Amino acid sequence: MYNSSFKFYAKWLLNRKNDAWKFDYLEKRFSKSNQILTNHVLETATHLDGLDNTTLLKNGFVTNPIYSKANELRNIALNKYQNVFDKKLLQVLFHLPPKSFSPGGYSWLHNLGLAFEHMGITTFKFWDTSDEVKLDNNKEVLLFTSHSPVYVNALKKSGLLDKARNHPLKVGFTAPFDISSQEMFDHVFDQNEAYDSECFFYSYHAQEYIQSTPFYAFLQNRNKKVYCLEFAANPLYHYPSQYINKVADYAFLGSVNYDKLNRYSDYFHALFNSKYKGVLAGPGWKWSKNYLFNLEHDKFIYAQAKIALNVHIDLQINTPCELNERAYQLAAYGIPQLTDNPMILKSKFAQIGLVAADSEEYSYLFKKYYKEEDFLLELSNKAMLAVYERHLTFHRIVDFLNKFKN
């Protein structure tokens, strides 16, 4: 037993050492000039919203050709879904960790909360204290949290469950559909059964995928409800800037994610040189310390690049489970997207943009098209129309609530 554990730990250390080496090499390849450009673009983005049109035009910005159509679609969507559920006797609580703990999880649940509010449903966000949560005695309460022990402990510490003891509370846990052993099934199930409140499970994965997994069958046999809340774009914040200034050839906003490090290395390696002007920012990149998670600023960062880069984690590549949230956001921002090829892409979002089968094609497509403005604009239009047709947070919420009441 000891020998087995030691070998596992030694292998983990070796993999992390290899990861650290790859990350260090990738950072060094991102040129000093691009680091300076990144900080310039980040700084510019913090001021763009407050500048008048005349000042922008004098400083190299031009009218964004996609803005007018995007603004029309956005206003239609915002008007259509505003307060559609204001008569619904429901409150929604989001158990959100600090942004630095889980940038991806925070982003999606935060966006869902904003969309619920726009649709007329009161929401509260909390972590390890529930002092600011005000429950309505006349409304059902839904709580979105995670099965992770970190979340479970923070939820207990918050006192929310005691506060909601006399309310009709339903607690939703993320469902780990990547697990496969009976022991793990029992652990997750027993952990959630310990709550006095009624429990359900939810996932960011596609319905077709989760229904094919062993854990879904396990939950079905125990009469547990499972719901999908796939990623999407939130038109409250994900829309193009009215003015653009393409000072960078590409932009990528993403954290230093060790689950993606090999793909970062494979797909970005050829682009990280002095030939291309790039913006790379997010938590963990040493030169982008000025980057903060800010929904209002991201569109201004992308407004200064010709193409947005996107890569997915191995699970998304190898199984038809999901696209990442960035895929939908970039389309809503109206920026052309170059992405790898997740298994679900063709059936879920065929209009996404430039799609590469491997790292070699990724570099080839970028080199071929990054200066083709008319072609890239056509790709942006197609992706944006697809997002507004079926990939908004409003669509996901309507679908979820329709299934939840049945």
pLDDT number for residue 192: 65
Q: With respect to CATH, is domain 19-60+235-390 assigned 3.20.20.70?
A: no
Domain boundaries, the chain: 19-60+235-390, 81-231+394-404
Spans of the chain, pLDDT less than 50: 1-14, 16
Pick the CATH number of 81-231+394-404 from 1.10.10, 1.10.3470, 3.40.50, 3.30.200: 3.40.50
pLDDT number for residue 406: 63
pLDDT number for residue 7: 44
Which residues lie closer than 8 Å to 35 by C-beta, 6 or more apart? 287
pLDDT number for residue 83: 98
pLDDT number for residue 180: 79
pLDDT number for residue 380: 98
pLDDT number for residue 355: 98
pLDDT number for residue 193: 65
